[in-house]
Amino acid sequence: MTDIGTAHKRSFLTLHDYGMGGLWWWIRARSAREVLEAFAWVEVVTDPETVARFEELEMVDIDASRMPPGLDGLRAERHAQRGLEGFGALADRDIVYLRRRSDEEDDEPAVQLIEVGSDGRRGRRVELAGDGTAVRSSPDDWLFNPPVADLFDPALAGQEISRSEFEEQWARARQAYTDL
């Protein structure tokens, strides 16, 4: 007899990339979207070479009452977001443009305009300083590019800007100095 809750589940390789490393799990779920709706800050990895490298990971069922360390907090974060206005509003977009305050504590306050892909990673970025200068950068300028946005996060809906606003600032910005 087949349990109705597991009848149509498949295994999805799931990554929480926190920049200098990541946590990996195999999650049994009905769809990749179900995984993304259930856990904040994760991505479903489909690259065949990567999937083959992680075949030996422990399996986690999405409907289990207890989750392993790391995944439990990501589920709690998503649960807290679920009922809020704007939850998942940007999730089905290939590219999203956001306006955010800089989170770098050492620098003077700045605004970042960020082009974000469906995986939450930056495509391009324009930093607008308080003095009116604008500096642009792209993935070639960064040592690593972890996700900077969880597109299910309801707070992001209020940070969205238009593509034309982003492109206007991108065109006027100077290229970031990089010594990479």
pLDDT in tens, 88-110: 999 999 999 999 987 666 566 68
Please give the model's pTM, rounded to 2 decimal places: 0.86
Please compute the mean of the pLDDT values over residues 50-79 and round it to a whole number.
95
| Residues of the domain holding 137 | 95-175
* In a shared domain, residues 104 and 149: yes
Check residue 61 and report its DSSP letter: E
Q: Specify the number of domains making up the chain.
A: 2
**Cα 174–chain centre separation:** 27
Residue 104: its pLDDT value, please?
A: 61
Please check whether residue 90 lies inside any domain of the structure: no
* In a shared domain, residues 100 and 76: no
Confidence at 2, pLDDT banded by 50, 70, 90: very low
CA 77, 160, 141, 120 torsion-angle sign:
positive
* In a shared domain, residues 122 and 146: yes
Please check whether residue 76 lies inside any domain of the structure: yes
pLDDT at 4 over 70: no
Please check whether residue 143 lies inside any domain of the structure: yes
* In a shared domain, residues 171 and 114: yes
Q: What pLDDT digit, counting tens, does each position of 135-176 carry?
A: 999 998 888 889 999 999 999 999 999 999 999 999 999 998
Please compute the mean of the pLDDT values over residues 73-97 and round it to a whole number.
97
* In a shared domain, residues 68 and 108: no
Tell me which residue of 106, 147, 111, 113 sits closest to 132, measured CA to CA.
Answer: 111
Residue 143: its pLDDT value, please?
A: 86
* In a shared domain, residues 64 and 132: no
Partners of 24 in the beta sheet? Answer: 15
* In a shared domain, residues 69 and 24: yes
Residue 1: its pLDDT value, please?
A: 39
